[in-house]
């Protein structure tokens, strides 16, 4: 299969997940929806790990870090994301979640001494934060207090995911990405499921409509397991710059899908803020010098994935 075709498929998959979350939330409560999604995804990824004979970590420290990053990247991030998207358009949610690299740069400055501060990175962070400010300026006056809180929740979740990515970069570079993703999901889903049972009730009593089931299957099977396998194949057949472009394209697809299929409105503030955020991501992640990409963010691990590619794998819903 052509790498370009796989790239397009991944853009389509990760661009569509925001739509699936929004539609599923019409019938399913947020914590349980997210938790059940990851229960299914973990089972599928575990089957992949067993099928490929990938070794599991034996160190208690590795499992502790996987559990911690799983709580940040899946419990906090996805719990807030699913809750927040109840109150804001799916396209807006995708744009706000795209701030993960900007938060990652700020956090890495304090935890990763090898991270170099460059004018491009600083400009990228300033653009990203400015974009969030532009979007927030529109929420309270136009959409109400719940939209403002929903937007804020997604940004907080993005910061938590960025912190998890920095921890992974600093301490888990030797862990295979399938094991890392599956382990993080496994630890992260427990509070989501438990919180759902306590706050939202028995899942068997939910409004299990066919659209809700289809969205759940799409997110768990296609958006998690299939997308992971395609991405893992792609990074071995395409250079890192082009794979990172997926993170810039998917918010655009998500916004377009929300407009076409859900009739979501688009304001000039969303456009302006989105342009700032996406431009900021480009400045932070897509830097070059003569001879290609450089710096600690593109150091390949034992599994062949660079740190940039590992981080990109965790920025999609």
pLDDT tens digits along 82-127:
999 999 999 999 999 988 888 888 888 787 776 667 788 888 888 8
SS3 289: strand
Closest residue by Cα to residue 296 from 311, 279, 316: 311
Averaged pLDDT of the chain: 86
Q: Kindly write down the DSSP assignment for every residue of 178-233, as one continuous string.
A: HHHHHHHHHHHHHHHHHHHHHHH--GGGS---HHHHHHHHIIIIIIIIIHHHHHHH
Among the listed ranges 128-142, 163-177, 259-273, which one has the minimum average pLDDT value?
A: 128-142
Query: Is pLDDT at 267 greater than 70 in this prediction?
Result: yes
Per-residue CA distances from 161 to 56, 209, 288 (Å) = 23, 31, 25
The pTM of the full predicted model, rounded to 2 decimals, is 0.89
Chain segment 43-74, per-residue pLDDT in tens: 999 999 999 899 999 999 999 999 999 999 99
Region of poorest pLDDT, from 12-21, 170-179, 191-200: 170-179
DSSP secondary structure letter of residue 283: H
On whether the CB atoms of residues 234 and 3 are closer than 8 A, the answer is yes
Q: What are the residue boundaries of the structural domains of the chain, listed by start?
A: 3-313
Cα of first residue to Cα of last residue in the chain, in angstroms, is 25
pLDDT greater at residue 284 or residue 51:
51
Q: Average pLDDT of 16-34? A: 97
Confidence of residue 309 (pLDDT cuts 50, 70, 90): low
- From CA 210, how far away is CA 9, in angstroms rounded? 24
Among 237, 255, 303, 307, residue whose Cα is nearest residue 96: 255
pLDDT score, position 107: 87
The confidence score (pLDDT) of residue 1 equals 66
- What would the DSSP string read from start to end of 116-151? PP-HHHHHHHHHHHHHHHHHHHHIIIII-HHHHHHH
Residue pair 89/265 in contact by the 8 Å Cβ criterion: yes
CA distance 103 to 136: 17
- What mean pLDDT comes out for the span 215-229? 93
Predicted local distance difference test score (pLDDT) of residue 201 = 97
User: What would the pLDDT profile of 233-247 be if each residue is shown by its tens digit?
Assistant: 887 787 766 777 787
Q: What is the pLDDT of residue 307?
A: 56
How many percent of the chain have pLDDT more than 70? Answer: 86
Residue 293: band (very low, low, confident or very high) from pLDDT cuts 50, 70, 90: very low
Query: Which residues 6+ apart lie within 8 Å of 185 measured at CB?
Result: 38, 41, 42, 45, 70, 74, 224
For the cut 50, the answer to whether the pLDDT of residue 291 exceeds it is: no
């Amino acid at each position: 299969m052509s790498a370009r075709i796989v790239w397009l498929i991944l853009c389509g998959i990760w661009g569509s997940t925001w739509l699936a979350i929004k539609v599923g939330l019409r019938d399913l409560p947020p914590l349980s929806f997210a938790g059940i999604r990851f229960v299914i995804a973990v089972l599928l990824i575990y089957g992949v790990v067993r099928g490929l004979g990938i070794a599991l970590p034996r160190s208690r420290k590795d499992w502790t870090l996987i559990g911690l990053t799983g709580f940040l990247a899946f419990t906090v991030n996805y719990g807030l994301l699913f809750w927040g998207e109840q109150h804001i358009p799916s396209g807006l949610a995708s744009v706000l979640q795209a701030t993960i690299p900007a938060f990652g740069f700020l956090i890495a400055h304090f935890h990763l001494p090898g991270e170099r501060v460059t004018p491009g990175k600083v400009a990228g962070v300033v653009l990203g934060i400015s974009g969030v400010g532009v979007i927030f300026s529109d929420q309270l006056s136009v959409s109400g207090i719940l939209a403002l809180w929903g937007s804020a929740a997604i940004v907080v979740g993005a910061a938590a995911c960025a912190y998890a990515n920095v921890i992974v970069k600093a301490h888990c570079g030797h862990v295979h990405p399938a094991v890392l993703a599956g382990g993080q999901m496994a630890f992260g889903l427990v509070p989501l499921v438990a919180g759902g049972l306590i706050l939202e009730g028995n899942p068997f009593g939910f409004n299990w409509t066919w659209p809700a089931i289809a969205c759940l299957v799409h997110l768990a099977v296609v958006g998690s397991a299939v997308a992971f396998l395609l991405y893992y194949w792609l990074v071995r057949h395409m250079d890192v710059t082009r794979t990172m472009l997926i993170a810039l394209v998917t918010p655009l697809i998500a916004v377009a899908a929300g407009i076409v299929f859900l009739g979501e409105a688009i304001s000039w503030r969303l456009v302006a803020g989105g342009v700032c955020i996406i431009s900021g991501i480009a400045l932070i992640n897509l830097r070059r010098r003569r001879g290609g990409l450089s710096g600690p963010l593109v150091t390949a691990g034992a599994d062949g994935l660079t740190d940039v590619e590992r981080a990109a794998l965790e920025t999609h819903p």
